[in-house]
Amino acid sequence: MYSKFFKRIIDIFASVIALPIFIVFYIIFGLLIKLEDRGPVFYKAERIGKNSRIFKMYKFRSMKVDAPTLFNIDGSTYNSEDDPRVTKIGKFMRESSIDEIPQIINVLKGDMSLIGPRASLSSVLDTYKDDEIDKMKVRPGITGYTQAYFRNGLSNREKRLKDAWYANNLSLLLDFKIVCKTILTVFSKEGLYTNTGENTSRNNPTKK
């Protein structure tokens, strides 16, 4: 009952309440983003949603215009503290997770949930294995089990398996625990960066 009905009601109710916060952050960080490099405020990219449906996810742009996407050898996206692709205000937004706030729009549209698996790039859909695909049984979330408990401290394979586990064990209690853990994780900045040393990567040009 919770996963099929009440979860969506909570998503809508909480997102409507959060809209004024989004507007305030849009004014403040939209201005800061524009002042730094005059590029677009939002970054929009195709992501995999529930039942493998593709949708456009919104974020505050944290990278320089036309910055390429870099992948690690396991297929995860490159993410380091001294990443030259990231703008000054972008680094702050990433470390505080403020760049995720525009996803409230996706929640209201029904593309996402407040809590759910991390939304994967649409281009990697055909790389999912049979024991990972259950991740798409639920809407992706602004935060979620892997984001809260591990952030970027797992391999791509481990993230997918844990996201699939979440989708098969979704409950009100689990979501409540994830919300509490998310708050602690954001403030502690634990597991913030995937790449803390040398890591092989490849380019995939895309706008940020």
**201 in Cβ contact with 70 (< 8 Å):** yes
Give pLDDT, residue 208. 44
Q: What is the pLDDT, as a whole number, of residue 72? A: 79
Question: Can you give the pLDDT at residue 204?
Answer: 46
Residue 206 has pLDDT above 70, yes or no: no
Predicted local confidence at residue 153, as pLDDT: 78
List, for residues 85-144, the tens digit of each pLDDT value: 999 999 999 988 899 999 999 999 999 999 999 999 998 999 999 999 999 999 999 999
Averaged pLDDT, 147-167: 91
Overall average pLDDT of the 58-76 stretch: 85
- Average pLDDT for the chain: 89
Residue 87 near residue 64, CB atoms below 8 Å = yes
Q: Give percent of the chain with pLDDT exceeding 90.
A: 70
49 close to 139: Cβ distance less than 8 angstroms: yes
CA-atom Rg of the chain in angstroms:
16
Strands 54-60 and 42-48: antiparallel
Q: What pLDDT does residue 191 have?
A: 58
Backbone angles phi, psi at 38, to 5 degrees: 65, 10
pLDDT of residue 50: 97
- What's the pTM value of the predicted model, to 2 decimals? 0.85
- Give me the residues paired with residue 86 across strands: 63
Read off the pLDDT of each residue in 178-183 and give the average, rounded to a whole number: 94
Structure tokens that stand for 50 in this block: 């529930």
pLDDT band, very low/low/confident/very high, at 155 (cuts 50, 70, 90):
confident
